[in-house]
Structure 1
């Protein structure tokens, strides 16, 4: 497939979404669990915002025709963001719509229980704001709010890697009742947004960057992907996020070679086409040519691979429960065919650039 064909395919999925489950402009995504026999349509804004970020980041490499298609995609996404904001005064956003019963959409049980309503999160918020590009004062309001939810401000982290618990890094969640959670992928997305706004770094920023640095220098994602990133518990997905951060911002450049070494090490162990796709794309982002330059083709396995997870036990600090928390049985896996096509589009364009 050419880049134009991939973009057209992404646009086709957006236009032809099932309006029983998704509003105009929302990309269809789904969640699944090993106990479920089928995927459940999941109305979230996260994947649509993620697709917008990738497409915007590739825009300078598009032809004029491709730029037109990209503009249609982005413009149809934007009107939906207002339905996923909890507190407009802080400009933060939620994975799901904030209307009653919209959490775990189309679910039988969890959507009926308020206990499973999620607070806004810095991951979704960062990606949405990167698409909307709010004025600096509006973005800075959000930045000030995030600081209130850092480790040790009101609560202390109980989970994750032991050698990171002392850091005053940011938690994934805005909610005061949610446990503090460190997630290196979430923080990587956050610093894409921090860099975009050129915010002056505060203590919590430096501590959060230190967390990512220690994760890289100690290869903690090889020791436990779940402890490094409970929302994205896959080493290859983690390496992709960190590569995107380092290649797109002014942060952590001194860790680049160590990261490249770890990606090459992961390539020796990777078992799936999707992981190979992510690792190869990560190397290209870091201006490194993969030793094995085998062509990757789009496949059903790539299209349906999960990207994001909801760990139903990850919020609990009990030691026994934490032993169970990484097990896939207790996870909902979220996937989005159009998002995976966007990842493949990124790979195709970066491959072309590095082979010229």
Structure 2
């Protein structure tokens, strides 16, 4: 792709993302990026007002800011300023600096629906994913980072409790849990851990035994092939091979971490075949972006004649995260693979941010 064409497409993508940012309506506060909850087989579609996708978009755009045209950099700064203003809505109900998928004060879980928001049963505690993305998209001071590191350790496996899901070989390891809540079970998720470890590496704080065990779990997830064979067992909230590879690849691109050397080699070996057989355009984008991060140059995915109007509909249909509702409780866990029990989330603006990231990293 010629430099002029790349710059033009990036400018169009960033402008469209900015246009999708809410100015405030009955479903979404100003500054938030709208998303959707889906269960298409049941005819379930709800507008969703989580903070997760907004922090993820800010993080993604700030990561590629230097590769954008000057005018688009200013647009990214404006997007970020508006988004940061809504972050406090998702801060812990206790006032501590952890964050929730949904506004916790008052609880607004599964909003704009008919049933799930009526019971506290589905109100999740603050989580590592939402918190790490807030910190990654809006970096904190060293004392704040040290506080969060201690908080993570206090809720980790073997400290707060013991995991009874995930690979048995890791249930006795000091691995960070996906959740901060007191009543939520310990949950080991390789994609969530990759976000958390990306934050941990960027703080510059010394890596400890909790970090080492968490990295070992991420490495095993890839090298064992479980991310392909049983994605729900190793990353319940991102339970597809392209999504898990994307998250681990983002961490691999950050630093040459010896505990992840085998995972790097495995992804380099696996991803060309996964890319060749991927059925959806956006899964191909995730896999190709990961290859680019690993220093490989995949075959072009974009037709030079495509405009934003051609690309935007192709970007739809990516469910970037899921809620396996039956996975949380031992007596229903055996049903968690049942797709009807899983709610999917899609964010159109985030899918466009993924396209911008692919182009900015050298994708064609």
TM-score (normalizing by structure 2): 0.91
Q: Is the 8 A contact 2:312 2:352 kept in 1?
A: no
Which residue, out of 183, 192, 217, partners 1:186?
192
1:338 corresponds in structure 2 to: 349
Distance 1:128 1:88, change over 3 A: farther
Which residue, out of 207, 211, 214, partners 2:213?
207
Q: Is 2:315 aligned against 1:316?
A: no
1:128 corresponds in structure 2 to: 134
Which residue, out of 274, 297, 308, partners 1:266?
274
1:224 corresponds in structure 2 to: 230
Moved more, 116-125 or 155-164: 155-164
Q: Is the 8 A contact 1:26 1:77 kept in 2?
A: yes
Whole-angstrom distance in 2 between the partners of 1:13 and 1:269: 32
Deviation digits for residues 84-131 of structure 1, max 9, x if unmatched? 111565410000001334111112111111121110001100000112
Whole-angstrom distance in 1 between the partners of 2:94 and 2:35: 25
3-state SS in 1 of match to 2:343: strand
Whole-angstrom distance in 1 between the partners of 2:121 and 2:193: 25
1:349 corresponds in structure 2 to: 360
Q: CA deviation at 1:236?
A: 0.5
Q: CA deviation at 1:220?
A: 1.4
Deviation digits for residues 130-170 of structure 1, max 9, x if unmatched? 12212110121111011011112132111122333232211
Q: CA deviation at 1:36?
A: 3.8
Moved more, 308-317 or 251-260: 251-260
1:105 corresponds in structure 2 to: 111
Q: Is 2:328 aligned against 1:325?
A: no
Q: Is 2:172 aligned against 1:166?
A: yes
Q: Is the 8 A contact 1:34 1:329 kept in 2?
A: no
3-state SS in 2 of match to 1:40: strand
1:254 corresponds in structure 2 to: 261
3-state SS in 2 of match to 1:144: helix
State the number of aligned residues.
349
2:151 corresponds in structure 1 to: 145
Whole-angstrom distance in 2 between the partners of 1:66 and 1:73: 10
Moved more, 228-237 or 26-35: 26-35
1:3 corresponds in structure 2 to: 10
Whole-angstrom distance in 2 between the partners of 1:111 and 1:236: 30
Deviation digits for residues 53-111 of structure 1, max 9, x if unmatched? 11011011112111101101100000111111115654100000013341111121111
